[in-house]
Structure 1
Amino acid sequence: MKNAKIYLGESPILLSLKPDKVGGLLAAALVASLLALPFVGLQPNRLFPGEALSLLNSAGITGLWPLLLLPLCLTNRALPLRLLLTTAALPLLLYTAGHTATALLENAGPLARVSLGAGFWLALFWLCLLITDTALRLKLGPLSRLALVTVLTGAVIALLAAGRCDDLSLLKEFHNRSDFWRQGLRHLQLALGSMVPAVLAGIPLGVACHRSPGLRAALFPVLNILQTVPSLAMFGLLMVPLSLLATAYPWLGELGIRGIGAAPAVIALFLYSLLPIVSNTALGFDRVDASIREAATAMGMSRRQRLWQVEFPLAMPVILSGLRVVVTLNIGLVAVAALVGGGGYGTYIFQGLGQTATDLVILGALPTLLLAFLAAMLIDTLIALQQGTRE
């Protein structure tokens, strides 16, 4: 009788009916954000604040579609269906905002704008957490997670390309910026242009620190000090010597090495990137079992062969973890580099702050966030595949 109770308590049917506290809480927070907070704001023009409208007042009864997610999120059953619906709900949320903006602007003035409210952004946040929670419960593999992100990104891009959200103030700011894609390319150039030399210098330094405790004891304090210098202070410190060099040697200025522009941004980001790469490289090689090295040596491998064929592949997941930190750090700091003329999406952020234009700030912050997320997601996939190959 006791065994029967244990069997019934662990049966798939009862487990599927077990309440899902996390999913239910996230779904309830999603609905509460949409119903209790302003979904959009109708402004008389670009700068002046306007009237905050809830979802029911702006979209009507059709805006209650998130309530359909509640029954699926209250239990652990039908997780694939939940993932499908929550994935479809994200572009649907954006479509609802775009359709609402079009309806509100029909009877508004020519300068009127419809901006996204706190309810939309919080609902988007809870929805992303709900998708993540469902994907984790389904134990999706790295390629499946990457495919999920690709589908979501493609659906949003297709919706925007179709012009369904053009009446939103955020999209109006986008269409008014003809250099948006050029700034995006500049953002990537600064982030990757500083990361590549940091990798080329950091990995050999990390290997050297692994082999030489004295070098590690001398180098790590210096890299730690560089990491603690605030970004604005670092840019400011680099502006003076670079300006003096450009003045003393005009040919350097012709190459782009000046006190403002890309040069101080790339150098500062290079210095910030060294610590994660060097420390993770040294840590990765430290974790290689000594017995594996002895076995490789017994097989007749030279020191170089052992490094490239045995130690480096085993240390690669830890090295990639440091690279992940560097990529996300650089993409975020490039936005600050706009203050010294570096360009990138940070230009929109500081222009928006100067003009008190919230949508312009979001136009710079949102793609910066997405670039960092996609880069981290790609490296996480590489790490998972590398670990799967080792296993």
Structure 2
Amino acid sequence: MGGGALLTPFMTLAANRIVEGAGVAAWNIAPASVTVPGIVAVLIGLTLGMSANRTRLRLSGAVLGQAGLLWLLMQGAPALLDGAGDYARVSPAVGFWCLLVVLMLLMADALAALRPGPLQRGALLAVVLVVLGAVLWSGALSDLSVLKEYAGRRDAFLSECMRHLGLAFGSLAAAAVIGFPLGVLCHRRAQLRGATLPVLSFLQTIPSLAMFGLMIPILGWVGDTVPGAQAIGIAGIGFAPAFLALVLYSLLPVVGNTVAGLAAAPAAAIEAARGMGMTPGQRLLRVEFPLGLPIILTGLRIVLVQNIGLAVIAGLIGGGGFGTFVFQGLNQTATDLILLGALPTVALALAAATVMDILVDLARPARKEIS
């Protein structure tokens, strides 16, 4: 598949940001003296990446192949734009995206086989973020259309980024504040658990767009009738309905995993704690919660990654976030404006999932020591 992707258009050149561009093969994006090293690096990377029994070689091949892709982008963009006109735009095409996905899958497979520890994964994530940040900061890719979209919307991008983070992490925090105590109560009382979890499961079945829509009339009524509600930002459209919808979606994973985590404590450990004279609160904080922490953190991981993605839909109801650029791009048929919202969302979700996985793994040794 990777080799075949090299035969498809690697980049597109368009007269402006809206019209459809013409595909250009990898070997035609720049002079051969420039493209050959990048193409060779990609081919070698794909070859090494298919090594069945040498995991480190597969990982090195995936890294080399991605370096080759980056080289081709850096060299191809200015070469294609040379003499193409002031409004011309150049973008990665299907060949680039297919190769990137293949190489990332090869890297993920190699890392899964190597099974690096949490600290090693944290260091690897830091290296990736530093390299990516350095490349973007250097301006080496500034000729790409998506970065031209960013350059024209720098202040708006930073504002929407903060709004997106507020939606995703703020709703996670609110769900944790509500969900942890509710989960503890559900763990203690079977009758409450039997009534609460089905309701939260029902909320999860409501389609995301419908949930956001339901919040509009509810919070619109609150904003119109409750004194001071509009002064603190509660209205039918905007941040408040998006935030509330995300909180409702977050409650089931938080409550459910809290119940499951607390229930995972071995009965012998609970009896030992009771025999030591611990109160129910002490048993909860010193025995049940530490033992169930990996499961509880897994619930938070689900919520965070889910909300980072769902926050995109907030752009439809004026909630802001990266979805603002996605829906603006759809309205203007501007693919690169869509990517300006989609790519940071994907990167943020991947980084958040990796960090949460690290936290879950770090919690597991403590669980073993206590048990």
C-alpha displacement at 1:183, in angstroms? 0.8
CA offset at residue 64 of structure 1?
2.8
Query: Aligned to 1:147, which of 108, 111, 123?
Result: 123
Residue in 1 that maps onto 2:320? 343
Alpha-carbon deviation of 1:78? 5.3
- Superposed counterparts of 1:327-366, under 5 Å: 327-366=304-343
The answer to whether the 8 Å contact 1:40/1:54 transfers is yes
Range that drifts further, 74-83 or 221-230: 74-83
Q: Does 1:43 align with 2:19?
A: no
- What is the percentage of aligned positions where both structures have the same residue? 46
Ranges of 4+ aligned residues in structure 1 off by more than 4 Å: none
Aligned-residue offset at 1:107 = 2.1
Partner of 1:32: 4
1:18 aligned residue: none
The separation in 1 between residues aligned to 2:273 and 2:243, in whole angstroms, is 40
Q: Given the two structures, how large is their TM-score scaled by the length of structure 2? A: 0.93
Secondary structure of 2:229's counterpart equals helix
Counterparts of 1:203 and 1:38, CA distance in 2: 51
Match of 1:388 in 2: 365
Residue 175 of structure 1: which of 151, 154, 161 is its match?
A: 151
Question: Is residue 238 of structure 2 the alignment partner of residue 261 of structure 1?
Answer: yes
Read off the aligned partner of 1:374 and give its amino acid letter.
Answer: A
- Residues 126 and 74 of structure 1: CA distance in aligned 2, closer, same or farther (over 3 Å): closer
Relative to structure 1, the CA distance from residue 58 to residue 215 in structure 2 (aligned partners, 3 Å threshold; closer, same or farther) is same
Code of the aligned partner of 1:299: M
Q: Is the 8 A contact 1:91 1:156 kept in 2?
A: no
The answer to whether the 8 A contact 1:135-1:145 is kept is: no
Per the alignment, do residues 81 and 268 of structure 1 end up closer, same or farther by CA in structure 2, a change over 3 Å counting?
A: same
Distance 2:275 2:64 in 1: 56
**1:91 positional shift:** 4.3
Provide the residue aligned with 1:107 in structure 2: 83
- Matched ranges for 1:1-391 at <5 A: 29-33=1-5, 35-59=6-30, 60-62=35-37, 63-76=39-52, 79-178=55-154, 179-391=156-368
CA distance in structure 2 between the aligned counterparts of 1:139 and 1:226, rounded to whole angstroms = 36
Counterpart secondary structure, 1:251: coil
Per-residue deviation, residues 212-249 of structure 1 (Å, max 9, x unmatched): 11111111111111111122222222211222222223
Q: Which amino acid aligns with 2:183?
A: G
Instruction: Give the structure with higher Rg (CA).
Output: 1
Tell me the distance in 2 between the aligned counterparts of 1:121 and 1:70: 14
Q: Secondary structure of 2:228's match?
A: helix
In structure 1, how many angstroms separate the alpha carbons of the residues matched to 2:67 and 2:337?
A: 22
Distance (whole Å) between structure 1 residues aligned to residue 167 and residue 108 of structure 2 = 30
One-letter code of the match for 1:354? Answer: N
Cα distance per residue 1:68-125 (max 9 Å; x no partner): 2245334356543543453354344223212101011112111111111011111111
Q: Which amino acid aligns with 2:190?
A: P
Query: Which AA in structure 1 matches 2:24?
Result: L
Q: Number of residue pairs matched?
A: 362
TM-score when normalising by structure 1 = 0.89
Q: Which string of whole-angstrom CA distances, capped at 9 and with x for unpartnered residues, describes residues 288-321 of structure 1?
A: 1111100111122221111100100001110111
Q: CA 1:218/1:77 → structure 2, altered by over 3 Å: closer, same or farther?
A: closer
Corresponding letter in the other structure for 2:330: L
Q: Is the 8 A contact 2:27 2:36 kept in 1?
A: yes
**Aligned in 2, Cα 1:75/1:193: closer, same or farther, shift over 3 Å?**
closer
Distance in structure 2 (CA, Å) of the matches to 1:150 and 1:87: 15
Cα separation, 2, equivalents of 1:95 and 1:183: 30
